[in-house]
Chains A and B, each alone.
Chain A
Amino acid sequence: MPFLAVHELSVRYGETRVLERVSFEVEQGELVAIIGPNGSGKTTLIRAILGLAPAAGEVLWEKPPTTGYVPQRVDFDPSFPLTVEELLLLRLVRHRFWRHDEQAHEAITHALKDVGAAKLVDKPIGVLSGGELQRVLIANALIANPTLLVLDEPASGIDIEGEETIYGLIHRLAEERHMTVLLVSHDLDIVFRYASKVVCVNRKLICQGAPSKVLTAETLSRAYATPARYLHAPGERGNHRHHG
């Protein structure tokens, strides 16, 4: 049994079919990149896998994973009154929240150091740059020692140099901690460099396999072909944002 088996997964919003009968498998320790054009259902696919979007079909786990999730950065409210330390403390439920807890502080500083963000510990979330927030969100995902890390376009809107650093970081951490990674990306260079497997979707599954084998001119033109009906379908981002 693979780490994750997705079987005939379909998602509909009203009359709009966002995903149709997508099936693929993920082995433990793989870094899987999910690619496809805007509005192709990438975000919906990982949301359905995580149980955040209503879906038909099956999502089977070898054993239930501990999941670290890094949603799209644009979903965060920069005026939310939370410091980096407080955000990470929300998950360290065995430690005190209201008073300074040295052990918790050390654990948080350590988690931030792993993602190159130790100096941000006392900063409010709202003053962080895009790259800094991304690192903090990754630290937040990692602090519970997940077996599965799921990232939705972790580097969107970050400059090229920063982008490579973030992906390099994810790749290094995944290897060090033997984590399985599901990653939505639109950058094929990055996919070629870091992913062990690629899943291309454009409403349906277009291809899956090792990047060098499946990313051919033919599959890419199929994956990135965006007939008018797809373009006019409501985009995944607009449809599935969840706010409390």
Chain B
Amino acid sequence: MPDFLQYDFFVRALIAGVLIGILAANLGVFVIVRKMSFFSDAIAHASFTGVALGLLLGIHPLAGAAGFAVLIALLISKLGERRSLSLDTIIGVFFSTALALGVIVIGALKGYRVDLFGYLFGDILGVSALDNILIAVLTAATVILLLIFFRVWTKIAFHADLARVEGVNVSFQDRLFLVILALTIALGIRLVGAVLIGPLLIIPAATAKNIGWSMRSLVAVSTLVGIFSSLAGLIISYYANTASGPTVVLVSAAVFGLSFLARPKTAKI
């Protein structure tokens, strides 16, 4: 038995890594095909502000992160519907506003809050059994919703009007997707931090898009890359004594690099 399996905290980290790998990689497919990478980054930074707000208001930081992330995601989506400004402009405004608010809130917190930095860069080795139960529940719920709504979400991403004419309630489905995405991001920042949850969503799916040409292959490859990156990254970080979250992201980036070299000439990211 490898020696890292003797440590309960490391086994918990491996379980959390695999779960978030599956969750992020699957949602990441839709983030990529809907061209929402910038959006997911903005939500990640907003959820960090949510952590700070949680600490200020005396509620659980993860509840603060989840609530604020969902709020910002829905606000961006609502304003985006008006089309008086382009979506990336709206995201840019919220991105910086949320961060600025976060910095002000941190300043208002009393004392030096070392736990805040755990949410900025993640602390996957510090996850509790309760964290893992939360992630497992969210992963299971998301996978079930994905199986139910996969065709609908794919159709909306492919052509929203086609979906509308075929009877899909596009606004409801969009909001459902955004809420799940925001919750995943909020939970993910506990593990890899606000700075690195974006790459965890995007890189496995982008890797899959390099070499896959169908939605089926995209979901399969993205999930495998997500799981592999989490496991390999954690194990490498154990032996190399490096920070866990960043090592996971670097492993997935290395796999992305390999897939980029292996991609068919016609593939576009």
Task: State the A residues within 8 Å of B (CB).
Answer: 47, 50-52, 67, 69, 71, 75-83, 86-87, 89-91, 93, 97-98, 124, 126-127, 140, 144, 150, 242-244
- The 0/1 profile, CB within 8 Å of A marked 1, for residues 123-151 of chain B is 00000000000000000000000000011
A81 touches B164 (CB 8 A): no
A87 cross-chain contacts in B, Cβ below 8 A: 158
B34 cross-chain contacts in A, Cβ below 8 A: 244
B151 touches A51 (CB 8 A): no
User: Which interface residue of B33, B161, B214, B216 has the most chain A CB atoms within 10 A?
Assistant: B161
Q: Per a CB cutoff under 8 Å, which of B162, B170, B213, B266 touches A71?
A: B162
- Give me 12 A-to-B residue pairs in the complex whose CB atoms sit less than 8 angstroms apart, sorted by A's number: A78-B268, A79-B267, A80-B33, A81-B213, A87-B158, A90-B155, A98-B216, A124-B214, A126-B213, A127-B266, A144-B166, A244-B34
**B116 interface residue (CB < 8 Å to A):** no
Give the dominant DSSP class at B's interface: helix
Minimum C-beta distance from A108 to chain B (A): 14
B266 cross-chain contacts in A, Cβ below 8 A: 126-127
| A75-B159, A126-B266, A244-B157 given; A86·B174 CB < 8 A | no
Residue of A nearest to B267 (CB): A79
Q: Per a CB cutoff under 8 Å, which of A89, A90, A242 touches B160?
A: A242
B166 touches A52 (CB 8 A): no
Residue of B nearest to A150 (CB): B165
Q: How many angstroms from the CA of A110 to the CA of B158 in the assembled complex?
A: 23
Q: Which residues of B, 211-258, contact A by the 8 Å Cβ criterion?
A: 212-218
A98 cross-chain contacts in B, Cβ below 8 A: 216
Task: State the B residues within 8 Å of A (CB).
Answer: 33-34, 150-151, 154-166, 170, 174, 209, 212-218, 266-269
A71 touches B161 (CB 8 A): yes
| A51-B164, A98-B216, A127-B266 given; A81·B159 CB < 8 A | no
A86 touches B161 (CB 8 A): no
B151 cross-chain contacts in A, Cβ below 8 A: 89-90, 93, 97
Q: Per a CB cutoff under 8 Å, which of B154, B163, B165 touches A67?
A: B165
A80 cross-chain contacts in B, Cβ below 8 A: 33, 157-158
Q: Total A-B residue pairs with C-beta atoms closer than 8 Å?
A: 79
Residue of B nearest to A50 (CB): B165
A50 cross-chain contacts in B, Cβ below 8 A: 161, 164-165
A75 cross-chain contacts in B, Cβ below 8 A: 159, 161
Beyond known contacts A50-B161, A67-B166, A82-B214: 20 more, CB 8 A cutoff: A47-B161, A50-B165, A52-B161, A52-B164, A52-B165, A69-B165, A71-B159, A75-B159, A75-B161, A77-B158, A80-B157, A81-B209, A83-B213, A90-B154, A91-B166, A97-B216, A127-B266, A244-B156, A244-B157, A244-B170
| A90-B154, A244-B156, A244-B170 given; A81·B214 CB < 8 A | yes
B160 touches A244 (CB 8 A): yes
Minimum C-beta distance from A86 to chain B (A): 6
Residue of B nearest to A83 (CB): B214
Q: How many angstroms from the CA of A76 to the CA of B174 in the assembled complex?
A: 19
B150 touches A97 (CB 8 A): yes
A82 cross-chain contacts in B, Cβ below 8 A: 154, 158, 214-215
Q: How many angstroms from the CA of A185 to the CA of B165 in the assembled complex?
A: 20
| A86-B214, A124-B213, A244-B170 given; A81·B33 CB < 8 A | yes
Residue of A nearest to B163 (CB): A244
Minimum C-beta distance from A135 to chain B (A): 16
B174 cross-chain contacts in A, Cβ below 8 A: 244
Residue of B nearest to A124 (CB): B213
B155 cross-chain contacts in A, Cβ below 8 A: 90
Minimum C-beta distance from B221 to chain A (A): 10
Q: How many angstroms from the CA of A89 to the CA of B162 in the assembled complex?
A: 14
Minimum C-beta distance from A38 to chain B (A): 20
User: Which interface residue of A52, A76, A80, A91 has the most chain B CB atoms within 10 A?
Assistant: A80
Residue of B nearest to A148 (CB): B165
